[in-house]
Amino acid sequence: MTATSVVAFGGGHGLSASLRALRHCAGELDLDITAVVTVGDDGGSSGRLRAERGGLPPGDLRQALVALAGDHPATRRSAGLFQHRFTGDPRDGLAGHAVGNLVLCGLMEQLGDPVAALAHAGAMLGTVGRVLPMSAQPVDIEAQVRGVDPAHPDELRTVRGQHQVAVTTGTVEALRLTPDAPVACPEAVAAVGGADWLIFGPGSWYTSVLPHLLVPGLAEAIVTSPARRLVTLNLAAEQETLGLSVADHLAALRWYLPQLTVDYVVADSKAVGDPEPVGRAAESLGARLVLAPVAVDDGTPRHDPAALAAALVPVLGADR
């Protein structure tokens, strides 16, 4: 019996939560996991390395690798090392950098190929699955935002950079990438074409989830793939999506990729509020809404990997 091939899209903590949940599914399902990661980060350690050294920002790639790291004590220690962040005076060159970011930056320079660098790092961490960039070239994220200046609530301004879009105080009305047609990573395109499932979210909608739909080669692969598609909704609005309803998150997927159809939408039964508009939004994409308790029980808006896995198993394991 062949494994079920799953491709998960995103970046940062949201993708990490999705990958950890998929790891939890392994007890009941045989999954072949591929993470396709956004490459627009321009803040923090990743932004500094990108500005100083060029190449792909490593932070989101690092988090995906760590989420898929193996369970052997040695690989767990290596995963902890990848996450270790140097402290100290901000003027110190190492302060603020995660060790894994430096390792990935070094591997990409040494090997000259981000896919090969990620494969090597995956071998170091014993990853259960592989990590790929959505494009081998870094991108910049730009948004048209209304009401950035409270004194001019109707004024539309361009906000540039993933970090600035993520923390904007206005309402994002349009999103674009620079360059506007980045070349999709061929290995990611192939993974999508051969997948049984494509999973979108959770994660920062405008800066981690939607950018994948703006890469032409990847968008075409997503639309034409025979895979079933699943969307995992966030537990709370983030700064970049304040004012965006849960149903609006689903509408945004169709706005940026009109041909997209979805089979299932997974949402937390408490966080979703009134399920009726969310159900209608899911149906507009062709999807069935699955409500389940997928949040951690301490009240913070974070997905619990084991609980999310419990919701995913019957969906991913279902026959067509």
State percent of the chain over pLDDT 90: 82
State percent of the chain over pLDDT 70: 99
**Cβ proximity of 253 and 211 under 8 Å:** no
Q: What is the DSSP letter of 16?
A: H
In 195-274, alpha helices (H): 216-224, 246-256
Q: What is the CA radius of gyration of the chain?
A: 19
pLDDT for the residue numbered 244: 80
pLDDT for the residue numbered 201: 93
Backbone angles phi, psi at 313, to 5 degrees: -55, -55
pLDDT for the residue numbered 320: 67
CA distance 50 to 114: 14
**Cβ proximity of 228 and 186 under 8 Å:** no
Residue 303, both tokens: 């997905």
Lowest mean pLDDT among 82-86, 186-190, 223-227, 242-246: 242-246
Calculate mean pLDDT across residues 124-152.
94
| DSSP secondary structure string for all residues of 157-193 | EEEESHHHHHT-SSEEEEEEEESSSPPBPHHHHHHHH
pLDDT tens track for 272-313? 888 999 999 999 999 999 999 999 988 889 999 999 999 999
Torsion of CA 79, 17, 131, 186, to 10 degrees: -170
Calculate mean pLDDT across residues 129-151.
93
**Cβ proximity of 287 and 231 under 8 Å:** yes
Can you state the angle between helices 99-111 and 59-67, rounded to 10 degrees?
110
Q: Is the pLDDT at 119 greater than 90, yes or no?
A: yes
Q: How crowded is residue 294: how many other Cβ atoms within 10 Å of its Cβ?
A: 29
- What stretch of H or E contains 202? none
pLDDT-derived band at 170, boundaries 50, 70, 90: confident
pLDDT tens track for 3-54? 999 999 999 999 999 999 999 998 899 999 999 999 999 999 999 999 999 9
Calculate mean pLDDT across residues 107-116.
97
Residue whose C-alpha is closest to residue 211's, from 188, 240, 238, 180:
180
Mean of the per-residue pLDDT values of the chain: 94
Residue 19, both tokens: 């990958």
Q: Is the pLDDT at 213 greater than 90, yes or no?
A: yes
pLDDT tens track for 44-96? 999 999 999 999 999 999 999 999 999 999 999 999 999 999 998 867 889 99
pLDDT tens track for 238-258? 878 877 888 899 999 999 999
- What stretch of H or E contains 135? none
Q: Which residue has the tokens 């369970």?
A: 71
- Position 131, amino acid: V
Contacts of 9 by beta carbon, 8 Å cutoff, 6+ apart = 15, 35, 36, 134, 198, 199, 200, 209, 212
Q: Is the pLDDT at 262 greater than 80, yes or no?
A: yes
Contacts of 167 by beta carbon, 8 Å cutoff, 6+ apart = 239, 240
Distance of CA 309 to the CA centre of its chain: 17
